[in-house]
Structure 1
């Protein structure tokens, strides 16, 4: 009986050791990433445009970045790779694909950089994959981004697919321009505010769509909305990159280099703009609303 008890104890001890090793092996393969969710172009929670921001000391694969962006399920997730002796590298992913430029997630990334990483700094230059260097400065108004202009080329309305126009509104736009995004100009702000898109129909169009008009509120020069049904987010709340196309158009139309705009989504957002020869300075506020850890396996 004593030998049986001893043998049983040895077996149980061996099982315990094996389980401990298995747990340790599993924990060694799990890594954590700290992330923040930031409402950009807002000075209070639950307004503006939310973006997930990951600050990383080591790179992760493109495939994992895409999976995480799909999991976060926001219009954009931004990754900032902090590099010793180099500018931080900034990339942006929608739930479905990597994007070349995202204004609100750049603003959000700068907000976390200044508040969590380098609170004594007031300027950061991000390296990017597609659009060169982007500089963001901290000031009394919030944060100012220096982005490249992306003026649209005027196109005939007949070049805009009829199903796109029908999916937006019965009202016809008065002008159309094409850059990365299709920009449609309407005759008044009521039309823009009241657009209720048929997103199933609009999803057949592969590009993003800006709709805009002059503002009927003296506080703003123009208003806009931004539709991106193929992006996993039918309407983007506030779109900094769209203003790389909006700003040069309205600057030329209104004959002024400093503008104030309102993006008339459900959440809404205000942007201050200053247009130079080839750049647009976009100023807005941002606020952190969530901080968390995302765990992933090395096998992911």
Structure 2
């Protein structure tokens, strides 16, 4: 079977920036074991698979390890592939997903994701996580992911997380968000997933489902600009709408090709 494969850099306006995702269009679902094997072979943080359904699309996301319930950058990448490679005519795309119907609107080079809001609540930090951190947070919260708030952007840049320690805890399907008020933006963050193939995710759209409501409340504003401070760096424009958040960014196509499975 010959299948198409697109690799897209999401939440960036330049190649080799943002977060790479693979996008695979299908006409019908393959077995989950095959989808996971394809994601492993692609060796990026997420592979998105989609099939057309009526006037929208069914969308699923796989890391090299598991199927995810929500993924921002691979959703943006899928919308970009539909619009720029597959010539989808509409500027609004609806995806049917494990997290409900998700809409992506397109305006120029920007894609805006309409995602659920996940306000984090105060939580206790597991000792394993605390022991792995070279700098301790000033605040600990949790939604799907742990959200650790630090004093400064420099803390986010300079922190060391001892993977041999933190890998003793399994947070699937969640992860660890570290965040602080930004120097030249409203807030910054990084995202880590213990026991996963990709320990640090370059840009994590789904993490902003928690970051946006938190920082909107802290900064008393509903429109925010954010950077994810991985080596590849991600740039996100964010809006808080109560039980929904909107996350906007750009994308660039890295490659278009095919692969074959038996």
Shorter-chain TM-score range:
over 0.9
Partner of residue 89, structure 2: 120
Residue aligning to 1:215: 182
1:265 equivalenced with 2:230 (yes/no): yes
SS in 1 for 2:183: coil
Question: How many Å separate the matches in 2 of 1:53 and 1:256?
Answer: 34
Aligned to 1:173: 137
d(CA) in 1 for partners of 2:118, 2:229: 21
CA distance in 2, matches of 1:259, 1:134: 21
Structure 1 Cα separation of the partners of residues 260 and 29 of structure 2 = 15
Number of residue pairs aligned between Structure 1 and Structure 2: 259
Q: Is the counterpart of residue 153 in structure 1 residue 121 in structure 2?
A: yes
Q: Contact 1:141 / 1:283 at 8 angstroms: preserved in 2?
A: no
How far apart are residue 188 of structure 1 and its match? 1.0
Instruction: Kindly report structure 1 stretches of 4+ aligned residues shifted beyond 6 Å.
Output: none
Structure 2 residue aligned with 1:69: 39
Name the counterpart of 1:81: 51
Alignment root-mean-square deviation, CA: 1.1
Does residue 164 (structure 1) correspond to residue 162 (structure 2)? The answer is no
Pairing 1:79-118 to 2, within 5 Å after superposition:
79-83=49-53, 85-118=54-87
Question: Greater helix percent: which structure?
Answer: 1
From 197, 210, 216, the counterpart of 1:251: 216
1:9-64 Cα offsets, whole Å, 9 max, x none, are xxxxxxxxxxxxxxxxxxxxxx0110100000011110000000001122211111
Verify: 1:237 aligned to 2:202, yes or no: yes
Structure 1, unpaired ranges of 5+: 1-30
Listed as ranges, the gaps of 5+ residues in structure 2 are: none
Alignment partners' CA distance in 2, 1:137 and 1:120: 12
Q: Deviations over 1:187-212 (max 9, x none)?
A: 11111110121112111121210000
Name which one, 1 or 2, has greater alpha-carbon Rg. Answer: 1
Matches of 2:109 and 2:57, distance apart in 1: 23
SS of residue in 1 equivalent to 2:261: strand
Q: What's the CA shift for 1:86?
A: 4.4
**How has the CA–CA distance of structure 1 residues 250 and 141 changed in structure 2, closer, same or farther, with 3 Å as cutoff?**
farther
Structure 2: how far apart are the matches of 1:197 and 1:174?
A: 16
